[in-house]
Amino acid sequence: MTDGVGLTEQERYLFDLHGYVVRRGGLSVNEVQALNVAVDLLALPEPAAQLMSQRFSRHLSSARCFRDLIDHRAVLDVMIELCGEYVRLDHAYGIAMNPGQSGLGLHGGGTPHDPAQYYEVRAGRMYNGLVSAQWALVDHRPGDGGFGCIPGSHRASFPLPSPVPLDWVAEVTLTAGDVVIFTEALTHCTLAWRGSVPRRTLLYKYAPGHLAWGKNYVEDLSELAASGALTPRQRVLMDPPSVSPRQSLLAYRD
């Protein structure tokens, strides 16, 4: 993978076609190791069948390696392309699952229209609502489960029928360090985890500068700002949502 670049021609085609793209080796071996150590130090409670017990948040202030993902070279220019130059980090959380546990079922889709989660193309430019970067901290081998989706469903003009045939859902295999970038307009899910080790993944969700999914940004931003832990570029990415005034991320490119 080329560091610090937007979507390649091939990636752009696949993102438009499928609603997601995988960047292989987005994280180095050392970065993956540091993130796994940082998750260990969080001393998380044991995940259970209840969905929210598998999620953890408020972790950005605990380790620099978590904050480094906010504007990581593997995703920043991609998010600028997908969400615009005023893109902001809306929220971030992690998922920890033990073998045999199930995750969130299918959600999202191109229809009905959701003003917070949408996908469209105009004059050769992609426009998105919420866009996610999901970082794999362990291998997701064929049959292990984890991130699943219905490719192309972000473009669907009709609602998802029920029941959904199992072969419609694609399992996305990953190696530790890979990052899946997907529009939340894509119909996606967390497949039951069948891996030989607990699943660990980190999700950082971005949006156009005027859009917010929830209110958590207020508390999270104030804590991080008070700690002085954010770089100037990260502070811009974590500005509260607004149309104007906003700072362009183009001025903060490496």
Inside any domain, residue 3: no
In single-letter form, the type of residue at position 206 comes to: Y
Whole-prediction pTM value?
Answer: 0.94
Question: Residue 182: inside a domain, yes or no?
Answer: yes
- Amino acid letter, 2: T
Residue 129: its pLDDT value, please?
98
Output the six-digit token pair for 140.
């997701």
Mean of pLDDT values over 74-93: 96
Domain of residue 245, residue span: 9-252
**Average pLDDT, integer, range 37-61:** 89
Q: Does residue 105 form part of some domain? A: yes
Tell whether 86 is covered by a domain.
yes
Q: How confident is the model at residue 227 (pLDDT cuts 50, 70, 90)?
A: confident
Express each pLDDT in 134-161 by its tens digit: 999 999 999 999 999 999 999 999 999 9
- For the chain, the C-alpha Rg in angstroms (whole number) is 17
For the cut 90, the answer to whether the pLDDT of residue 241 exceeds it is yes
Q: Tell whether the model's pLDDT for residue 2 goes beyond 60.
A: no
Residue 17 belongs to a domain: yes
DSSP 151: T
Torsion of CA 201, 77, 118, 93, to 10 degrees: 20
Q: Is residue 4 part of a domain?
A: no
CATH code where residue 162 lies: 2.60.120.620
Overall average pLDDT of the 69-78 stretch: 98
Structural domain includes residue 2: no
Given a cut of 70, whether residue 219 has pLDDT beyond it is no
Total tally of structural domains belonging to the chain: 1
Burial of 73 (0-12, 13-18, 19+ CB in 10 A): middle
Is residue 68 one of the residues assigned to a domain? yes
115: cis peptide before it, omega within 30°?
no
Residue 126 pLDDT > 60: yes
